[in-house]
Amino acid sequence: MNILYVILGVLVLLAIERWIYKRYWPKGVNASVRFSQDRAVEGDEVELIETVEYTGRLPLPWLRVKFQISRDISLPGGKGTIVTDNYSREDVFSIRRMQKITRRLPAVCGKRGQHRIVGVDAVSSDMFMTCKTITSFQGNHGITVYPCRTAVPDIEQAARQMMGEHITNTSRMEDPFMFRGVREYMPGDQMSHINWRATARTGKMTVNQFDHTSDLCVSIWLCFEENADWRDYELSEECIRIAATLIGNFIDDGIPVALCCNARDYVAGGAAIIGHGCSQEHKDSCLTALARLDMNKSAEPLDDFLETIPRSVSEDELVIMISPEVEPRRCERVNELTVGRDLLWIVPVNADDEEPELNGLETIRNNCVWRVRL
C-alpha cells in the first residue's frame, strides 16, 4: 500500500513539475540568429551569429535552437544541418541561469538575392526529460547578396571608346571642379585661374587648367525573354553580373547610370526601373534591384517594356542593352528607340554552343557578342 502511495506521489510530482515547466519555462529565454552584415557579394563569406540568453528561474537540462535559411547560403561542414528547400539548422546549448552564449558560424553567400532567417525556435524539456517544450521567436533578419562582378574587358573597352567620343575639350564649358594641371600664362587667360604658388616656385606666370564638363550618362537595358527556358538560367545570371559590373565601374568613375530591366522584382512584383545617379547610395539601389530579380517568374513582355523605358533628359546618352534575345524586328525597334543616342548591344552566348544565328544584329551600330563559359 505504501508503494502505491509512493508511486502516486511521484506521478503527482511529475505532473506538477511538467505543468510548471510548460507554463513558466519560456520566461527568460531569448534566442536570436542574425548575419554579421546586411550586404554581401556572391562568393563572400560572412558570419551567422547565434545568441542565446537565459534569465529565468527554472534550471534547463539542455536547450536546442532551430532555424531555417535559404539553401543558397551554405554552412561549411554541414554539421547539424538538413538540406531541403531551405537549410534547417539545429544547435544544442548547455546554458545556466543568467548566462548569455554567442556562437559564430561561417556562411558562404552562394547566390545573389535577399535571404532571410525564418522559424527561429528554442526547444527544451523538464528536468526529468518527460516532455519537450518549445517557444518561437521572430526571425526577420536577412542579408542582401549582390551579383558578383565579372571580367568584361572587351565590353568595357568598347563602351569607354564610345564615351570618349563624347568627352571633348571644345564643345563644353570648363568645369572649375575638374582640375587637369597647369600651364604657362597666355594673353587672354583669366586672372582668377592664375596659380600663385606655381608662379612663385617657377618664376613664370602659371595658370590652372580644367577639364570640360560633359552631360554624358549611361542607361543599361537588361532585357530577357518573357518565358525563359530553364537551360538559359545561368546565361541570365551572367547577364545580371555583366550589368552589375558595368554599373559599379561607371559609378566609380562618376558617370550617372540608369537601370531598366523587364525581369520582375520578387518583392515589388514589377519591372525594375531606376533613374540616373552616380552616388554610392544610387549604386546600392541598383545592385539591390539586381539582387531581387526573380528569374523563376515570367518577365514583362519585352516589346511592351521597351516602349515604357523613360528617355534621359541629357543630350548625350549611351544605351547599353544586355540581352541574348536577338531578332530582326526587335533590332529595328531598338534602333528606332535610340535615335540620337549611342547604342551598344551586348549579346551573351554560351561558349560551348555552336555559332548562334543572330539575325538582325548587323543593323545595330555597335554590338558585342560575349561568349560565356558556364
Cα distance between residue 182 and residue 206, in whole Å: 7
Per-residue CA distances from 81 to 121, 134, 301 (Å): 15, 19, 41
Percent of the chain at pLDDT above 70?
Answer: 80
pLDDT for res 204: 80
* Nine-digit cell string for 75: 554552412
What pTM, to 2 d.p., does this model score?
A: 0.77
Give me the residues paired with residue 142 across strands: 116
pLDDT for res 83: 59
CA angle 166, 169, 171 (to 5 degrees): 70
Average pLDDT per block of 10 residues along the chain, 374 residues long: 73 73 77 93 93 87 88 73 72 89 92 89 80 78 91 71 53 48 68 77 76 70 77 83 91 89 86 89 94 88 85 71 85 84 84 71 76 66
Residue (of 48, 37, 252, 245) closest to 155 by Cα position: 245
pLDDT in tens, 300-347: 888 888 888 876 555 578 889 998 878 888 888 888 888 878 888 888
pLDDT in tens, 68-80: 888 889 887 655 5
Per residue in 129-146, is it b (16+ CB within 10 Å) or e — as a string? eeeebeeebebebbbbbb
Residue (of 85, 83, 138, 143) closest to 115 by Cα position: 143
Cα distance between residue 111 and residue 74, in whole Å: 10
pLDDT for res 168: 43
Give me the residues paired with residue 63 across strands: 93
* Nine-digit cell string for 91: 544547435
pLDDT for res 56: 83
Cα distance between residue 151 and residue 149, in whole Å: 7
* Nine-digit cell string for 104: 559564430
At which residue does the C-alpha cell 531569448 appear?
30
pLDDT for res 231: 55
Strands 86-93 and 63-70, sheet pairing:
antiparallel
